[in-house]
Amino acid sequence: MKRVAILGATGSIGLQAREVLERHPDLELVAASSGSRPLDGVAPLTQVGGDPVELLEQAEPDVVLNAVVGFAGVRATLWTLERGIDLALANKESLVAAGELALAALDRGGGRLLPVDSEHSAIFQCLEGRAPETVDSVVVTASGGPFRGRNRSELEDVTPDDALAHPTWSMGPKVTIDSATLANKGLEVIEAHFLFDLPYERIEVVIQPTSVVHALVRLRDGSSLAHVGYPDMRVPISYALTYPDRAAVDLPQLDLASGLVLEFEPVDEESFPMLGLARLAGERAGSYPCAFNAANEVAVAAFLDGRLPFLGIPEVVEHTLDAADGSPASDVESLHEADREARRLAEQALVAA
């Protein structure tokens, strides 16, 4: 029996994880948290609002699924890794903002870090058992979001409702807007850098509109391994929670005979500058990725409130990266300080926009 704690249990990932748990008698839900929605009777221990670390201390889980949205997930990530408890990580922001601190905690704790993000789960699976020197590069695929194929002028007047209509994945509002701007892919590039210890030039992004190919790993002999399947988050969730057993999931296999089309196209970085800004932040390192994430969170919230146009999101982020000092955070307090400072700079940019 594996004792599982789910943080962010009422969000899209949290709900799908609860579904996965219900079907696996070997997984026991011992604790669940949410930001504000009620959790009565969902698990023996529940917490609504506040820092979920208090809940984890009581719950003594074997694996923590961190599906909190945004920077708010950082403390739980660090707490879990420090204690050597397995972490199924859906909160990509905590690895983006706190990558160095998280890897150091993982190293000290000796537990496992299992990605739940579909692309990273795919890369993780393609890399399993492979010597690092045999790997040339990885390819993260993107659906391109609802605005794929549009140029800048066609993006000027798009509304939150337009952006929330994602073609292939059903997700919460923050991640869906991040998919529309490609900030999500930018966060995923930084996430991949930390998870797989790869320099940024060896992490490629390509558009694959149907989201059937989740990622590829290119090997040094010219072979590429792809991870394919219908887009369904229950697959990476189940994989992470039942690792290394890979439990059965009741989903249809790919129907190849009906004529599966796998198209790829390059990213239009001019119309979607968030990917380039994320790479810039990642390459500058230090607390720049934290600043990228914080500015994006502020800009997305403003866009959802109708206070910022769609194309204002990358402007706010660019302004913040230009103004942030970016020095590395040596501990979680200085990381929080970098996050607060970046949010302040982003709010300034909002006023100016």
Q: Which residues bind Mg ion (CB under 5 A)?
A: 117-119
Which residues touch 258 (CB under 8 Å, ≥6 apart)?
A: none
Among candidates 65, 63, 61, which has minimal Cα distance to 17? Answer: 65
Q: Which is nearer to Mg ion, 43 or 182 (CB)?
A: 182
Q: List the alpha helices (DSSP H) in 63-202.
A: 74-82, 92-97, 99-109, 118-127, 160-163, 173-181, 183-196
Nearest approach, Cβ of residue 140 and Mg ion (Å): 8
Separation between Cα atoms, residue 280 and residue 318, nearest integer Å: 10
Q: Which is nearer to Mg ion, 70 or 326 (CB)?
A: 70
Tokens of 73: 């997930």
Nearest approach, Cβ of residue 174 and Mg ion (Å): 13
For Mg ion, the nearest residue by Cβ is 117
Among candidates 119, 183, 144, which has minimal Cα distance to 264? Answer: 144
Q: Which is nearer to Mg ion, 71 or 79 (CB)?
A: 71
Q: Which is nearer to Mg ion, 86 or 119 (CB)?
A: 119
**Inter-residue contact 7 to 52 (CB < 8 Å):** yes
Which residues touch 62 (CB under 8 Å, ≥6 apart)?
A: 2, 3, 4, 85, 86
**Inter-residue contact 75 to 332 (CB < 8 Å):** yes
